[in-house]
Structures are given as structure tokens and as C-alpha cells.
Amino acid sequence: SDDPAPGSTGATSGGDKGGNIKVGFSQLGAESGWRTANTESIKANLTAENGFDLTFVDAQQKQENQIKALRDFIDQDVDIIAFSPVIETGWDEVLQDIKDAEIPLVLVDRTVDTTVEDPYVTWIGADFTQEGRTAGEWVKKNHPDAKIFELQGTMGSGAQTNRQEGFREVIGDNVIGEASGNFTRAEGKAAVEGALAAYPDMDLIFAHNDDMGLGAVEALEAAGKKPGVDVKIVTVDGVRDGLQALHDGKFNYVVECNPAFGNQLADLLRSVKAGETVPKETIVIDEAFDQTITQEFIDARTF
């Protein structure tokens, strides 16, 4: 029908923008296999054929780049701004500007901590705290006396703070050391090289993502240790490389964080544009895997 959707301005969807929904997406970076898969899923679903006019900007893990992209989106007067914030704090001013510009904001994957009231319409992402708890429960059950090194993600990101919180809630004080590997393979490797010197008796690493776990594998092998045996490795994500390391016995347990939610995001964006009521949050469902995983399952994995 020609009737405007409830709550909409009454303008035709997209107006003079060819009918497509104009979305500005600020992705935080390309730091991990997870992020690459997430970007692919977003780009594959927010296509012109699906009714979107997407401007996608990669911030290379720098908050200042994200803030600049968000301001550009305001200037471009997009229909909706979507973004994955690299860290939780420091967004107050730009979030207020988005609000003042009356552009609906959709948060993707990570979360913000802000004084701005009601800054976003909806958020879609994983339950990071539960991922940390799931990892902790496996460790508590299978290696209750482990001397744990926690290889953390980007400090101050929702994925880091909440995974740490959930893990520690279950594990208590078995963590003998911690350092950040910024969610990348190279920094994960460097952090574990440091940990091998600082905590020679560590026998389990909880890495906040697969990539840092894979960096840990490299560091351990270079030091003549057997990953998965001498030092157990528990990670989060479940991208193909991580699951392969699990199958190969180098990882011991992987908690999934599913990046392939571009189709759910597309549905949310359509609803937001139509002025429909959307849930405040959509939690992406995660599984967990141990070494019984099959090669067949890994080969069929799309990310």
C-alpha cells in the first residue's frame, strides 16, 4: 500500500536515492579471520539487489578513523548509520551528533558505554560474557588446576572486557598472567613469546579469539613446546583456521562467535527504515566445539 509505515516520516523509502536504503557502515578493522568473515557477510547481504545503497568504511582499528567516518555519514545524510565500535568509550560527542541529526543508529557486534541517552535503535551481536563463561566452564571441568595465561583482545573493547568478566566469574584466580594481543595473530604471537619468559609454568592459554590462539601456536612451537599438549589452548570464534587447529590437536576447545549475521542485519535495517518496532537487542546464537569435531564439518564451514 502507499500508506507510510507507522512511525515513519511518510517519505517514500529512499526518496530520491533510487528507492534503496542508504546505509553508512563503519567497520572497526580487518584484524582477524572473524572480522573478514563478518565484513563479507555484511557486504553480501547489504547489496543493491537487496535494496541497499551501502557505503562501507574500514577504520583499521583506530577510533579516530571511526569517528571521522561517522561524521562523514552525517554529512552525507544517510538513512541509517551502522557501526562496530573498536572500544566501548569515547563516543559521547559523535553519538550526540548522530542523535541531533535524527539518523537512526544500529550497533553491530560490539557495544558502547556512553552518557548519551538512548543512543541507538537496536544492537545485534554475540553474548561475549556468556562466551567467556562457556570457555571457563570447560577449563574448570577439564583442567581445574591449570595455570592460565589470558591472551586478551583489544583492551577496552566489549569483546575483551566481557569475555574476561565471564571467564573470571567461573575460573576465579587461576589466571597467573595476562596480556593483550589486540585480536591479531602477530600481536598474539608476541604476547605469548613474552608470557613464555614471564610465566614459564603456564600450561593453558585462554585466547579471546582464534587468531591470537594461532599466534600462540607459532610462539609455542618456536619455543619447542607442543600446543594443545604441553600448553592447552582455548579460544573464541570458530573460524575455519581455528577449527582446523582444533581438529589437528593444537587447540583444545573453541567457543563459537558467529560472524555470519549479515542477513539478520539486513532485515533489521529494513525494519528500522520502515519505522517498525525492532527489538533493542538481537543475540546471535553460538555453539562450542571440542577435539571431536570432524573434518567434514570444518570443510563445510562458510567462514
**Which residues contribute to the site for ligand AHR (CB under 6 A)?**
31-32, 34-35, 109-110, 159, 183, 209, 236-237, 257
Q: Compute how many other C-beta atoms are within 10 angstroms of the C-beta atom of residue 75.
A: 9
Question: Helix 92-100 vs helix 63-75: angle between axes, to the nearest 10 degrees?
Answer: 10
Name which of 190 and 223 has its Cβ closer to ligand AHR. 190
Least distance from C-beta 34 to ligand AHR, angstroms?
A: 3
Nearer to ligand AHR, 213 or 227 (CB): 213
At residue 227, what are phi and psi to the nearest 5 degrees? -65, 140
Cβ of residue 49: shortest distance to ligand AHR, in angstroms?
28
Residues 6 or more apart in contact with residue 12 via CB below 8 angstroms: 19
**Closer residue to ligand AHR, CB minimum distance, 94 or 236:** 236
Nearer to ligand AHR, 20 or 32 (CB): 32
Contacts of 212 (CB under 8 A, 6+ apart): 151, 153, 181, 183, 184, 185, 187, 188, 191, 235
Which CB atom, from 176 or from 284, has the smaller least distance to ligand AHR?
A: 284
Distance CA 188, CA 207 (A): 8
